[in-house]
Chains A and B, each alone.
Chain A
Amino acid sequence: MNLMAQILINVIIAFLAGSLLLGFHRKVMARVQLRPGPPIIQYLLHSLKFFFKETTFPKTASIPFYISITVILAGIWVTGVIVGPVAKGSLMILFGIYAIHKIVEHNAGSSSGSPYGKVSCVRAVFSAAGELPLFAVIAVIFILTGTMDISGIIAYQSIHGPLIFQLPLAALMFFTLIVTKSPYSPFAITKGKEIISGFETEHFGMLRGYIMFSESIAWYILLWIFLTIFFGPISVVGYVIGMIVICIITGFINATTPMLNPNHSVMAQISIAVICTVGSIIMIII
């Protein structure tokens, strides 16, 4: 198939599947909290709705920055689709995408001039340490497999079996990262409800649509990476079941766990990263 067509199809799949999974995640949380919850397609309908709403701009915003940051956010996640499902490229590029995502959170918060956005902006810098588990996972996988390419890791697993059995602590560390990035997470300090919606608070209309589009793709890519690098070459049905199961587990966790304060959130993530990294290295050596 033509490369451009392949990219387009994968971006559409990532957006639609990511939206449905986020809707399902919200539904699970609602059912755990004994509420009926919105329909599963509600997240997708919200995302599409924002593209047709009037876009307004706060007086305090730094306009070029305020607009371009949402386009950059959408751009990096389209890149994520190209590097991940399309090319099965390097995990280091995906790590770079997560690093830029953090910078975008920071700048989206500061560019609006809103105090809520600014608090979120400061927290984005603070929580950058939360990306440590991702880097540690990539390092541990490289030590074992000798490659950072997703295609190479898949090939390694087709010979030696899924990495989750060889590196369970690294999988736990990555799962912590998934919980961190999931909606209403106890670790999601940049979007804590005491600061409304954090860095997204002052983005309206089409700009908010871009942010929601990016969030859907980001969620899909995160789950895709986890299933691919820890469960090896799996079928489409395997991906669907895996993604649904992860949404159910994170939904249960997020529905029953209150949000941590920023210090505890970052320290918990770093502690898990350190323990799991040391444990993984010891398991590889033994």
Chain B
Amino acid sequence: MEELYIMIYIIVFIVGSIAGLLLSYKKHMEPYIISEIDVLTLVFSIVGWFLLFNHGLNHFISSEILLTIAFFCIGLAIGRRPGYGRKETAIGILIAGIVWILTSGVLF
């Protein structure tokens, strides 16, 4: 069964990436790169990476569903047009990593 879930996660990530790419090209038609942080992408990135690292904190919804949502959100942020989504992804990983370190008991 584990392989089935892996396949679902990969497919969901790809669907998220394609959606992210299409959204990004729709929003940014200009030939140059705007180096501002996009709030929507940032939200998707934080939600995605948070759920990926910290899905164990939740005991009500199954991990498989949370991970599926996580991979979709990560795909949406990371799959943006080249030049976009990098800062948002880095912030998402940073926040999710800090929460994981504080809650997993690694430090204590």
The distance in angstroms between the C-alpha atoms of A36 and B4, with both chains bound, is: 34
The distance in angstroms between the C-alpha atoms of A96 and B1, with both chains bound, is: 30
Partner of A16, one of B4, B14, B79, B81: B14
Binary per-residue interface labels of chain A (26-42) against chain B in the complex, 1 for a CB within 8 Å, 0 otherwise: 00000000001111110
Residue B30 is within 8 A (CB to CB) of chain A in the complex = no
The distance in angstroms between the C-alpha atoms of A68 and B89, with both chains bound, is: 44
Are A36 and B82 neighbours in the complex by a CB distance under 8 Å? yes
Are A40 and B6 neighbours in the complex by a CB distance under 8 Å? no
Are B83 and A36 neighbours in the complex by a CB distance under 8 Å? yes
User: Closest CB of chain A to B24's CB: distance in Å?
Assistant: 9
Beyond A17-B10, A39-B21, A44-B14, whether A6 also contacts B82 by CB under 8 A is no
Residue B68 is within 8 A (CB to CB) of chain A in the complex = no
Are B11 and A16 neighbours in the complex by a CB distance under 8 Å? yes
Chain B residues, CB < 8 A from A1: 1, 3-4
Are B14 and A38 neighbours in the complex by a CB distance under 8 Å? no
Chain A residues, CB < 8 A from B78: 40
Beyond A37-B82, A38-B82, A41-B18, whether A9 also contacts B11 by CB under 8 A is no
Residue A282 is within 8 A (CB to CB) of chain B in the complex = no
Partner of A9, one of B7, B17, B79, B83: B7
Residue B36 is within 8 A (CB to CB) of chain A in the complex = no
Residue A236 is within 8 A (CB to CB) of chain B in the complex = yes
The distance in angstroms between the C-alpha atoms of A12 and B5, with both chains bound, is: 12
B contacts, CB < 8 Å to A:
1-4, 6-7, 10-11, 13-14, 17-18, 21, 33, 78-83
Besides A20-B10, A36-B83, A38-B82, 8 more A-B contacts (Cβ < 8 Å) are: A1-B1, A12-B7, A13-B3, A13-B6, A16-B10, A39-B21, A39-B81, A40-B79
